[in-house]
Structure 1
Amino acid sequence: MKILVIEDEPDMLDNMVQSLRQEMYVVETALNYNEALDKIGAYDYDCVLLDINLPGGSGLDILNELQKNNKTEGVIIVSARNSLDDKVAGLELGADDYLAKPFHIAELHARVKSVLRRRKFEGSNLIKIENLTLDPDKHQVWVNSTELVLNRKEYDILLYLVTNKGRLVSKTALAEHVWGDYIDEADNLDFIYSQIKNLRKKLKDNQAAVEIGAIYGIGYKLIIP
């Protein structure tokens, strides 16, 4: 899952990012209003953690932009403001939750998981497609009752394709979602092919009832033969 943290306090940002990465999320950051606008305009995220008070503008205007552009990100407002008016305004603009600073990191993780379950997994802790089952909390995959052993990137690719089942996912979108900001360091996207190749073999060897289809030069799609 890919998360954008929009926060201008360096210590708070660092704590949030490090703890979320330990939970195996792909995490990107924005330190101010304009940087946040650029990120949400260029990329898609599963969840956005949004401060209201930002250098250059208001987090509530970020929410407006998400709504205006029909973006589907789950949004949790994370702000030192704890007034009822701010909370109501954020929720009316489409935020999924509101978390007032200071907070315990464990509560942040619980809120993020709750939003992801509602937005991506229809409220369930598990995702099931045919004989394939994924547990996003434990980062585990099973085919029938047999656990499928995947490396981190293979799992991230499979989860992204599963949550976009039926849709063609471009190589660029897949790379940006799974590798995040680190994708800028890559010379090309050829490394995705090796991850897809290994993932396909593991699905086939374990008799999964789904396959990863490809359209040459464009991208990939999870299909049921």
Structure 2
Amino acid sequence: MKVLIIEDEADMLQTMVQSLKKEQYVVETAQTYDEAQEKIALYAYDCILLDIGLPGGSGLDLLQELKELQKTDGVIIVSAKNSVDDRVAGLELGADDYLPKPFHMAELHARVKSVLRRRKFEGSNVQTLQNLQIDLDKHLVWVEGQELSLNRKEFDVLLYLVSNKDRLVSKTALAEHVWGDYIDQADNYEFIYSQIKNLRKKLKDHGAQVEIQAVYGIGYKLITP
């Protein structure tokens, strides 16, 4: 799952990044209003952790922009400002949750997981599709009760395709979502082909009742034949 942290306090930002990466999230960051505005306009995220007080503007204005762009990214306001007015304004603008500073990383993880479950998987930790089961918290996959051994990127690719079932996902969107900022360092999408090829083989070998369909020159779609 892909998370954007919008936070100008360097120490807090580093702590959040390190903690979320240990939980296997793809993490991107923005430290100013302008940088955050550019990222939310160009990319999609599963969850945005948003500070209200930013150099160059207010996080509440970014929430308004997300609303105008009709984005469906989950948003948790993470701010030292704990007034009722700020909280109400943020929730009315579409934020999913409000976490006042200071907080424990364990609570942050719980809030992020809650938003992801609610937004992507109807509140469930385990996603089931035909004879395929995915445990979001444990990063495990089973087919007919038999565990499927996937590396981290294969798991991320599968989860993204499952969350977009029957929808065509472009190679660019898949690369940005699973590899985050590191995609800028890639010369081509060969690494995606490799992950998809391995994932397809493992699903087929285990008799999964789902199939990754390639649409030449565009991307991929997870279907249930």
Q: By the TM > 0.5 criterion, same fold?
A: yes
Measured in 2, the distance between the counterparts of 1:193 and 1:7 equals 34
Which structure 2 residue ranges, 5 or more long, are not aligned?
none
CA distance in 1, matches of 2:133, 2:54: 40
Q: Which residue of 1 aligns with 2:203?
A: 203
Alignment match, 1:87 = 87
Aligned to 1:64: 64
Residue in 1 aligned with 2:117?
117
Q: The residue matched to 2:181 in structure 1 has which SS?
A: helix
Give me the TM-score of the superposition, normalised by structure 1: 0.99
Separation in 2 of the partners of 1:31 and 1:189? 29
Letter in 2 for 1:8: D
How far the C-alpha of 1:83 sits from its partner, in A, is: 0.6
**Residue 175 of structure 1 corresponds to which residue in structure 2?**
175
Q: Distance in 1 between matches of 2:72 and 2:144?
A: 31
Determine helix, strand or coil for the equivalent of 1:217: coil
Amino acid at match of 1:74: G
The amino acid across from 2:213 in the alignment is: G
Q: Write the distance in 1 (CA, Å) between the matches of 2:70 and 2:166.
A: 19
- The alpha-carbon deviation at position 213 of structure 1 amounts to 0.1
Describe how 1:123-134 pairs up with structure 2 within 5 A: 123-134=123-134
Structure 1 residue runs without a partner (length 5+):
none
Structure 2 letter corresponding to 1:158: L
> After superposition, what is the alpha-carbon deviation per residue over 1:112-161, rounded to whole angstroms, capped at 9, x for unaligned?
00111100010111111000010111100000100000011100000000
* 2:18 corresponds to 1:18: yes
CA distance in 1, matches of 2:136, 2:27: 16
Once the two structures are TM-superposed, the CA of residue 191 in structure 1 deviates from its matched residue by 1.3
Query: TM-score scaled to structure 2, two decimals?
Result: 0.99
Number of residues paired by the alignment?
A: 225
How well do the aligned residues superpose, as a CA RMSD in angstroms?
0.4
2:52 matched residue in structure 1: 52
Give the fraction of aligned pairs with identical amino acids, expressed as a percent.
75
Ranges of 4+ aligned residues in structure 1 off by more than 6 Å:
none
Partner SS for 2:94: coil
Displacement of 1:209 in angstroms is 0.2
Distance 2:187 2:123 in 1: 39
